[in-house]
Structure 1
Amino acid sequence: MTTAVWVRADLRRRAAMLLRFGWIEAQSCGFAVAVLACLALTSVVPLPVPRYDVLLACMVALTIGMWLLGWETGREVAVIAGFHLVGLGLELFKVRIGSWSYPEDALTKVGGVPLYAGFMYAAVGSYICQAWRRFDLRVTGYRALTVTGLAVAVYANFFAHHFLPDARWVLAALLLITLRRTWVFFTVGDARLRMPLALAFVLIGFFLWVAENAATFLGAWTYPDQQHVWTFVHASKFGSWSLLVTLSFVLVATVKATEGRLYGDLPRPTVTPESD
């Protein structure tokens, strides 16, 4: 085989792997995409009842439907419910102090927060659960207790920084130090690949920031500088999402540890095209 032929074959293989990676990612984002679709549809279709109430009904139906169809397992639905509660706790506090708001009326609002809001955090949990299964994720060098403690501190800092010095940069540095030897392994086709877990957090945080821009454009919630005209969400939220992803990962990893699906690089692929 000549060098040119080998290069072309290698490029085709890499392109096919990239397409397969994108397809698995798209499948893993099913719940999040459905949430955005609901936001888009309810923003243009006249509704006989408050929009936020319709969104809650849609997202409950999505959760039940994905479980009945086998898209989510019962244990994954329980984890996603945990995300919903964690998200609502943050929402209730942030709305109360004016970090953002939900200006529309609804019957299902508590403390100014519509109950559908927790499902947007649940969408992150759904993505991680789906990606873990579809990519057959495993980690090495993961210090569970330390990372869990830092993730809880990150979540607490989202509340505390309104009254105490903001510790996010200190926590980010500690996470980078703790995760410096932590790798996440994943399968794409017949290849077993890896990346630093910290990089995975940053990449997920970036795409969550992109999704947040789409969600605020569709009126999911409103930041103070978006009251009169929509503007891009401040880039600092990218870092906030990257940090918050650590708590999301910890919640899912805790469940995966009980299933024996947390540690190890699994050098031989266990995911086949048929199993997707």
Structure 2
Amino acid sequence: MLAMLMATHLFWPADAPLARYDALTIGALLIQIAMLAFRLETLSEAKVILAFHVVGTVMELFKTAYGSWTYPEPSVLRIGGVPLFSGFMYACVGSYIARVWRIFDFRFPSYPPLLWTYVLAVGVYVNFFAHHWLTDVRLVLFAAMALLFWRTQVVFRVWREDRRMPLLLGWFLVALFIWFAENIATFSRAWIYPNQRNGWTLVSPAKLGAWYLLMYISFVLVAAVHRIRSR
């Protein structure tokens, strides 16, 4: 997806009959079809990723309506101000988690009760919307996440050897690389923030917090497919 964003930014003709954003939507759809056709992704994983796609698109519609970011180029395949490829960007995160979970045989010693993880995920998602009118409670959400998962490890297998790290650290590392990817995406003007309208600038590191919370939602959605194993 990042390669498509950069390639179309650098080489897509301005007078092409197909808008760049529409080409990105078609390209993303072809990637998804190929993932299933070559069995790189299971059908059950694809269903959860579709749910994440919908969750992400709903948030995009809300956030663009409030001017949090914009999509500056025209397109036909869009809902309101949101081109359809944007949902695939969220789906990429879910797809990555689903694949590495299976490939590295994830296990989670000291995983908290599932009900509490679902309640927290709902709270995180609601706060993405509610903080526009009410107090932003993300610090409370971070604290709740730390309280629930401070003992939880992720055990993963690399070349027949089990390794481990704190799950909270694992989420941060993935969020960090999503932030790197976001900088590439905004440089290619896939979307832009208000302070980037007159030229690209680095995305604020404060966005890491938002990506960490979104990472948690995607993890919980994928966990609904992959049975959590503690031992």
Q: TM-score range by the shorter chain?
A: over 0.9
User: Deviation per CA, 1:174-223, whole angstroms, max 9, x where unpaired?
Assistant: 11011011111100112101111111111111111111001111111010
Gaps of 5+ in 1: 1-34, 266-276
Q: Does 1:204 align with 2:174?
A: yes
Q: Does 1:36 align with 2:2?
A: yes
| 2:206 corresponds to | 236
Q: Does 1:97 align with 2:66?
A: yes
User: Deviation per CA, 1:118-177, whole angstroms, max 9, x where unpaired?
Assistant: 000000001101100111111122221112111111111010001000000111011101
| Partners of 1:157 and 1:168 within 8 A in 2 | yes
| 2:46 corresponds to | 77
| Partners of 1:209 and 1:237 within 8 A in 2 | yes
| 2:229 corresponds to | 263
More helix by share: 1
| Partners of 1:84 and 1:118 within 8 A in 2 | yes
The one-letter code of the counterpart of 2:48 is V
The one-letter code of the counterpart of 1:69 is F
Consecutive aligned runs of 4 or more in structure 1 exceeding 6 Å deviation? none
Q: Does 1:59 align with 2:28?
A: yes
The one-letter code of the counterpart of 1:49 is L
Query: How many residues of Structure 1 are paired with residues of Structure 2 in the alignment?
Result: 227
SS of 2:29's partner is helix
| Partners of 2:110 and 2:230 within 8 A in 1 | no
Cα distance in 1 between the residues matched to 2:4 and 2:96: 17
Q: How far 1:246 sits from its partner (Å)? A: 0.8
2:99 to 124, 127, 130: 130
Cα distance in 1 between the residues matched to 2:126 and 2:39: 34
Give % identity.
Answer: 48
Higher relative contact order (CA 8 A, sep 6+): 2
Q: How far 1:48 sits from its partner (Å)? A: 2.6
2:19 to 47, 50, 63: 50
Q: How far 1:101 sits from its partner (Å)? A: 0.3
| 1:31 corresponds to | none
The one-letter code of the counterpart of 1:76 is E
| Partners of 2:98 and 2:222 within 8 A in 1 | yes
SS of 1:255's partner is coil
The one-letter code of the counterpart of 1:58 is G
Gaps of 5+ in 2: none
Q: Taking structure 2 as the reference length, what is the TM-score of the superposition?
A: 0.96
Cα distance in 1 between the residues matched to 2:103 and 2:69: 35
| 2:108 corresponds to | 139
SS of 1:139's partner is coil
Q: How far 1:44 sits from its partner (Å)? A: 2.1
Cα distance in 2 between the residues matched to 1:239 and 1:206: 10
| Partners of 1:201 and 1:243 within 8 A in 2 | no
